[in-house]
Amino acid sequence: MTDLTFFAESLKSDSCEVLLNSPMSRHTSFKVGGCADIVAVPKTEKALHDVISKAKENNIDFIVIGNGSNLLVKDCGLNCLVIKTTGMDNAIVVENDSIKCSAGTSLTRLCLVAYENSLTGLEFAYGIPGTVGGAVFMNAGAYGGEIKDVLTGVTHITPEGSIITEAAENLSLSYRHSFYSDNPDYIISGAEFRLQKGNKEDIKAKMDDLMGRRKDKQPLEYPSAGSTFKRPEGHFAGALIEQCGLKGFNIRGAEVSEKHAGFVINKDKADASAIFELMKHIQETVKKETGVTLEPEVRIIP
Ligand SMILES: Cc1cc2nc3c(=O)[nH]c(=O)nc-3n(C[C@H](O)[C@H](O)[C@H](O)COP(=O)(O)OP(=O)(O)OC[C@H]3O[C@@H](n4cnc5c(N)ncnc54)[C@H](O)[C@@H]3O)c2cc1C
């Protein structure tokens, strides 16, 4: 047994699943990426804390991911431990107009719980295919709403291993940015949201409307990571890319979506290098033709 498989064995328990040499294409919505040495899927906040402590004790590098819906993992894979939080989706507590949940809770589930409790404010997030941890990290948003509007606090594990709850106002939340994007060694384990009492039918109608708009406008039938680039000040990335005639432009199976130019899709068995090359081509073309710099929204790893 190598040191790494020995370490992987030590992580296994009823509250933590462990996979060895696991292709990241199975853990990301782009469906690309080479193998990770170890993928650990803790099922509780305590198990998450234990995995992180053991990794640190053994000097094993690690990265924490949610549902992998905003990641481009390179074809060379990840020589490290990947901690995937999607197993931590079982702790949701609703108290009056507040909802507390684990980092691994899917946004869709959170939105449905809000709806079932006639709480309004999260409808914008319905259909974003990430976890609460990933959504806080990214300050995810859509249709005029963002996580910042409803988040009151985040529980995180500090680099020293303490578990602390921090008020949302101290987390530098701005457009697709948070304290966590600047400090990736802080790991989000849970979050708390404040919503408002609303009318259940109105909440459902808004969620259905926004989901319908996603289906109409976005290429949901293909693997992608959502909007590839951030919205540049005063512009829309998709409109600029379309204006440059790049709709349908394809590199080895990676394509600028015909349906929505803001999405790079994995049209036909692309690998990560094809997606990466296409992103570079888009950035260079848009810069040359319009003078605007496009910054990736997708997180490129490593
Ligand atoms: C079809 C489609 C539509 C989308 N629509 C939208 C949209 O409307 N709006 C929008 O904002 N985004 C959208 N996205 C992008 C994506 O879903 C969001 O960014 C989402 O918030 C990412 O969550 P995740 O759990 O998948 O995070 P991941 O992609 O797994 O991770 C994203 C980043 O967060 C970090 N991270 C994740 N969990 C933790 C944690 N617990 N602690 C510390 N760091 C963590 C990761 O290391 C990584 O850097 C879309 C994606 C797709 C595929």
CATH number at residue 97: 3.30.465.10
State if residue 71 touches ligand 1 by the CB under 6 angstroms criterion.
yes
**Domain assignment of residue 35, yes or no:** yes
**Domain assignment of residue 166, yes or no:** yes
Same domain, 83 and 104: no
Yes or no: say if 248 and 258 are a contact pair by the CB < 8 Å rule.
yes
Q: What is the pTM of this model?
A: 0.97
State if residue 225 touches ligand 1 by the CB under 6 angstroms criterion.
yes
Yes or no: say if 221 and 228 are a contact pair by the CB < 8 Å rule.
no
Give the residue among 7, 12, 48 at the shortest CA–CA distance from 157: 48
Same domain, 198 and 252: no
State if residue 257 touches ligand 1 by the CB under 6 angstroms criterion.
no
**Domain assignment of residue 208, yes or no:** no
Residue finishing a domain among 87, 104, 134: 87
**Domain assignment of residue 212, yes or no:** no
pLDDT for position 1: 55
Cβ-proximal residues to 229 (8 Å cutoff; 6+ apart), any chain: 237, 241, 262, 279, 282, 283, 294, 295, 296, 297
**Domain assignment of residue 210, yes or no:** no
Residue finishing a domain among 59, 87, 115: 87
Give the residue among 255, 136, 149, 251 at the shortest CA–CA distance from 187: 136
Sign of the Cα torsion 133, 139, 142, 146 reads positive
Q: Which amino acid is at 34?
A: G
Same domain, 272 and 196: no
Same domain, 98 and 121: yes
Average pLDDT for consecutive 10-residue bins of the chain (302 residues)?
A: 83 97 98 98 96 96 98 97 94 96 97 98 98 98 98 98 98 98 97 98 98 98 98 97 98 98 98 98 98 98 88
Give dist(CA 68, CA 64) in Å, integer.
Answer: 10
State if residue 180 touches ligand 1 by the CB under 6 angstroms criterion.
yes
Yes or no: say if 63 and 82 are a contact pair by the CB < 8 Å rule.
yes
Cβ-proximal residues to 158 (8 Å cutoff; 6+ apart), any chain: 164, 186
Same domain, 112 and 185: yes
Same domain, 38 and 53: yes
Same domain, 153 and 197: yes
Show the domain range for 244: 219-301
Give dist(CA 44, CA 74) in Å, integer.
Answer: 29
Same domain, 246 and 174: no
Catalytic residues: 176, 227, 297
Same domain, 100 and 194: yes
pLDDT for position 18: 98
Ligand 1 midpoint to CA 128 (Å): 8
Give dist(CA 50, CA 126) in Å, integer.
Answer: 31
Same domain, 174 and 228: no
Ligand 1 midpoint to CA 70 (Å): 4
CATH number of the domain to which 36 belongs? 3.30.43.10
Ligand 1 midpoint to CA 1 (Å): 35
Residue finishing a domain among 87, 117, 152: 87
Domain count across the chain:
3
**Domain assignment of residue 211, yes or no:** no
Same domain, 74 and 100: no
Same domain, 58 and 160: no
**Domain assignment of residue 213, yes or no:** no
